[in-house]
């Protein structure tokens, strides 16, 4: 069962209640990793902690504390055309 769905253009992200992220649709820019196909026909589980973390100096808002050893559980997803963004429970943004 999904907790959140985001779609932009022809790329779709679905976040489950367990924190898993599935994606399908257009993968022209590699936003649905690690899949190599341009079109992903069925929901594919993403290795969310392999996504790129936004550097601290590029973030818009400061957060107190950090957790360098355990990535946070994904709390929100956003499909944005040529990239996908993930937000974890600690406010860390990850993208592909």
What are the per-10-residue average pLDDT scores of the chain (96 residues)? Answer: 84 90 93 89 85 55 52 86 87 82
Q: What was the pLDDT predicted at 73?
A: 84
Structure tokens at 86: 């993930």
Which pLDDT score, from 0 to 100, does residue 26 have? 94
C-alpha separations of 39 from 6, 21, 42, 45 in Å? 17, 17, 9, 15
Q: What is the pTM of this model?
A: 0.76
Cα–Cα distance for residue pair 16/18, rounded to 1 Å: 5
Identify the pLDDT of residue 56.
56
**Domain parsing of the chain, residue ranges:** 2-95
State residue 76's pLDDT score. 92
């Amino acid at each position: 069962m999904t907790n959140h769905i985001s779609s932009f253009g022809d790329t779709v992200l679905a976040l489950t209640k367990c924190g898993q992220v599935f994606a399908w649709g257009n993968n022209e820019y590699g936003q649905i990793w690690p899949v190599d196909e341009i079109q992903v026909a069925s929901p594919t589980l993403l290795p969310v902690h392999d996504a790129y973390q936004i550097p601290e100096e590029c973030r818009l808002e400061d957060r107190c504390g950090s957790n360098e050893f355990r990535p946070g559980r994904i709390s929100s997803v956003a499909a944005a055309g040529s990239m996908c963004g993930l937000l974890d429970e600690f406010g860390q943004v990850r993208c592909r």
